[in-house]
């Protein structure tokens, strides 16, 4: 009884044992049932001819799947065993699903992808820029393939002026990867602007040559920009990651790197029309500006200034002549009256002057000392003013003056 354990203990030990033993396990079988839950999780079961197992894939892993599984499909699942202890049930917790027969290749694909990633083959910084204007192109593919036919057809439709060099190579089989490497190295010596390497769609095995490390090395070391155009849009090869540009299909590669002649013609037509309109508007604006500047030049030119000055001078001269003529006419009309008034005033002034002169003459004769002085008489003056003797007081100084003599005297008394 010493080895007795509870159900929980047993389930726990089973859980530890199973989950530790079956980690990162690949299991192949036929899909027995499948349910895509609304939560995004995937619940299904796989079986062989003897037994079955329940499986679950969580939403995050389902989102990375490239296809939907269906009942009856033969698949390979990768994951680990998980145990639900409360009920003692186990299921296979799946992280990846692949169609049967591709598991080994898928694992090799992931291993090589991680290796090349660590070597920097996928770094965007080292990728070469695809030229915008391509004049020469090298097509590394099978010369009799439908993919080449489609490529040439697209080239003819879009940009027939490009020079095309076809480098025939195997694109399928054991020796294909060696042929592809050799063809890529040769294409790199042709002096083309871009190398397109690829083929049409096929199975994983058919496309596997483009997952080989030697092909990745050749693409990485090419000096010419490389476009990888392998299979269909859902096919993602190692060459796609290493190339400078990945195209979903061979035809799409040409559409991505070559311009569309029809679109270019349309664009050129639009540009020409816009250029013509712009030039017309520019000419109109320049013409208007020229006319404006010409008008400014005419108004500012010395000849125009001289002409304007001359016109202004003539206007002033005419106005002055008019005013002078008007003034002269008025003066001519007024002149007789002015002359009569002047003569009247002049005659009156002459008579007045004559009367004044006679009066002054009389006063002169009266006041002339020679006429006033008689023998024994003298003129009395104080400070140059004539006075009578009655105005002289005692002690006053005065002057006695006759026709010939002037005497300064002092009054010492009056009788």
Q: Write down the pTM of the prediction.
A: 0.48
pLDDT at res. 339: 77
Rounded to whole angstroms, what are the CA distances from 144 to 169, 171, 200, 212?
10, 11, 12, 23
pLDDT at res. 55: 93
> Is 144 inside a domain boundary?
yes
> Is 328 inside a domain boundary?
no
* The token pair that represents 171 in the structure block: 């694109």
Question: β-strand 52-57 against 42-47: which pairing, if any?
Answer: antiparallel
User: Bigger pLDDT: 148 or 383?
Assistant: 148
pLDDT at res. 366: 67
The SS3 call for residue 125 is helix
Q: CA-CA distance, 104 to 96, in Å (whole number)? A: 13
Same domain (yes/no): 245, 142? yes
Same domain (yes/no): 187, 83? no
Counting residues of the chain whose pLDDT is more than 70, the rounded percentage is 94
Q: Which residues of 379-399 are buried (b: 16+ CB within 10 A; e: fewer)?
A: bbeeeeeeeeeeebeeeeebb
Same domain (yes/no): 71, 126? no
pLDDT band at 410 (very low <50, low <70, confident <90, very high): confident
Same domain (yes/no): 179, 221? yes
Same domain (yes/no): 84, 207? no
Residues 40 and 57 sit within 8 Å (Cβ to Cβ): no
Counting residues of the chain whose pLDDT is more than 90, the rounded percentage is 45
Structural domain ending residue among the three candidates 217, 240, 259: 259
User: Bigger pLDDT: 247 or 374?
Assistant: 247
pLDDT at residue 18 greater than cutoff 60: yes
User: Tell me: the pLDDT tens digits for 297-335?
Assistant: 777 778 777 888 888 888 888 888 888 888 888 777 777
What's the number of CA atoms in the CB half-sphere (13 Å) around residue 404?
Answer: 3
pLDDT at res. 139: 96
pLDDT at res. 1: 52
User: Tell me: the pLDDT tens digits for 55-89?
Assistant: 999 999 988 776 678 898 888 889 988 887 888 78
pLDDT at res. 191: 96
User: Tell me: the pLDDT tens digits for 177-223?
Assistant: 999 999 999 999 999 999 999 999 888 889 999 999 999 999 999 99
Same domain (yes/no): 67, 155? no
pLDDT at res. 332: 77
Mean pLDDT of 339-367: 82
Burial of residue 178 (number of CB atoms within 10 Å: 0-12, 13-18, 19+): middle
Same domain (yes/no): 42, 91? yes
Tell the residue number behind the tokens 């009156």, with chain if given: 348
Same domain (yes/no): 78, 179? no
Structural domain ending residue among the three candidates 101, 128, 159: 101
Same domain (yes/no): 198, 150? yes
Give me the domain span that covers residue 384.
371-410
pLDDT at res. 2: 57
What's the count of helices (H) and strands (E) in the chain, helices before strands?
12, 14
Residues 218 and 184 sit within 8 Å (Cβ to Cβ): yes
Same domain (yes/no): 156, 220? yes
Q: CA-CA distance, 174 to 206, in Å (whole number)? A: 10
pLDDT at res. 100: 79
Same domain (yes/no): 67, 182? no
Q: Phi then psi for 316, rounded to 5 degrees?
A: -65, -45
Q: What is the CATH number of the domain that holds 245?
A: 3.40.50.261
pLDDT at res. 31: 92
pLDDT at res. 142: 94
The angle, 0 to 180 degrees and rounded to 10, between the axes of the packed helices 213-221 and 103-118 is: 30
| H-state helical runs in 243-385 | 250-257, 261-300, 302-367, 369-372
pLDDT at res. 57: 94
User: Tell me: the pLDDT tens digits for 97-110?
Assistant: 887 765 556 756 87
| Average pLDDT over the chain, rounded to an integer | 87
pLDDT at res. 238: 94
Residues 244 and 225 sit within 8 Å (Cβ to Cβ): yes
Question: How would you list the strands of the sheet with 397-401, edge to edge?
Answer: 385-386, 379-382, 397-401, 406-410
Q: What is the CATH number of the domain that holds 95?
A: 2.40.50.140
> Is 52 inside a domain boundary?
yes
| H-state helical runs in 143-228 | 146-158, 176-187, 204-207, 213-221
> Is 170 inside a domain boundary?
yes
User: Bigger pLDDT: 139 or 18?
Assistant: 139
Which residues is 56 bridged to in the sheet? Answer: 43, 93
Which residues is 17 bridged to in the sheet? Answer: none
Q: CA-CA distance, 223 to 244, in Å (whole number)? A: 11
pLDDT at residue 415 greater than cutoff 70: no
> Is 346 inside a domain boundary?
no
Structural domain ending residue among the three candidates 237, 259, 281: 259
> Is 252 inside a domain boundary?
yes
pLDDT at residue 362 greater than cutoff 80: no
Same domain (yes/no): 27, 128? no
Q: CA-CA distance, 242 to 227, in Å (whole number)? A: 9
Residues 6+ apart with CB under 8 A from 121: 216, 220, 241, 242
Residues 219 and 197 sit within 8 Å (Cβ to Cβ): yes
pLDDT at residue 336 greater than cutoff 70: yes
> Is 347 inside a domain boundary?
no
Mean pLDDT of 118-137: 94
Rounded to whole angstroms, what are the CA distances from 192 to 109, 140, 164, 181?
31, 12, 9, 17
Domain count, the chain: 3
> Is 377 inside a domain boundary?
yes
Mean pLDDT of 245-265: 92
| H-state helical runs in 47-119 | 59-62, 103-118
């Amino acid at each position: 009884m010493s080895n007795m354990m509870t159900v929980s203990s047993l389930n726990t030990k089973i859980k530890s044992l199973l989950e530790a033993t079956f980690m990162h396990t690949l299991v192949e079988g036929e899909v027995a049932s499948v349910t895509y839950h609304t939560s995004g999780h995937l619940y299904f079961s796989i079986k062989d001819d003897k037994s079955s197992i329940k499986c679950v894939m969580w939403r995050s892993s389902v989102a990375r799947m490239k296809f939907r599984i269906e009942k009856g499909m033969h698949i390979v699942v990768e994951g680990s065993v998980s145990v639900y202890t409360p009920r003692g049930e186990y299921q296979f917790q799946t992280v990846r699903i692949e169609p049967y027969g591709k598991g080994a290749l898928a694992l090799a694909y992931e291993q090589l992808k991680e290796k090349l990633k660590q070597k920097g083959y996928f770094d965007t910084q080292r990728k070469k820029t695809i030229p915008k204007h391509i004049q020469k192109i090298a097509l590394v593919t099978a010369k009799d393939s439908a993919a080449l036919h489609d490529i040439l057809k697209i080239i003819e439709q879009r940009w027939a002026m490009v020079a095309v060099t076809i480098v025939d190579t195997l694109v399928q089989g054991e020796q294909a990867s060696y042929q592809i490497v050799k063809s890529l190295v040769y294409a790199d010596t042709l002096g083309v602007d871009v190398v397109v390497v690829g083929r049409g769609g096929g199975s994983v095995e058919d496309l596997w040559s483009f997952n080989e490390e030697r092909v990745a090395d050749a693409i990485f070391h090419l000096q010419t920009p490389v476009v990888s155009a392998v299979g269909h849009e859902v096919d993602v090869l190692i060459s796609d990651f290493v190339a400078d540009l990945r195209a979903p299909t061979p035809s799409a590669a040409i559409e991505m790197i070559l311009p569309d002649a029809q679109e270019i013609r349309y664009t050129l037509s639009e540009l020409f029309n816009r250029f013509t309109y712009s030039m017309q508007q520019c000419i109109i604006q320049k013409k208007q500006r020229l006319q404006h500047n010409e008008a400014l030049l005419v108004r500012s030119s010395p000849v125009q200034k001289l002409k304007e000055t001359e016109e202004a001078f003539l206007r002033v001269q005419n106005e002055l002549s008019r005013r002078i003529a008007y003034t002269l006419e008025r003066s001519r009309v007024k002149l007789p009256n002015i002359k009569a008034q002047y003569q009247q005033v002049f005659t009156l002034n002459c008579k007045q002057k004559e009367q004044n002169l006679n009066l002054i003459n009389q006063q002169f004769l009266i006041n002339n000392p020679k006429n006033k002085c008689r023998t024994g008489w003298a003129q009395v003056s104080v400070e140059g003013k004539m006075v009578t003797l009655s105005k002289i007081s005692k002690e006053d100084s005065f002057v006695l003056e006759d026709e010939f003599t002037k005497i300064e005297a002092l009054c010492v008394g009056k009788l």
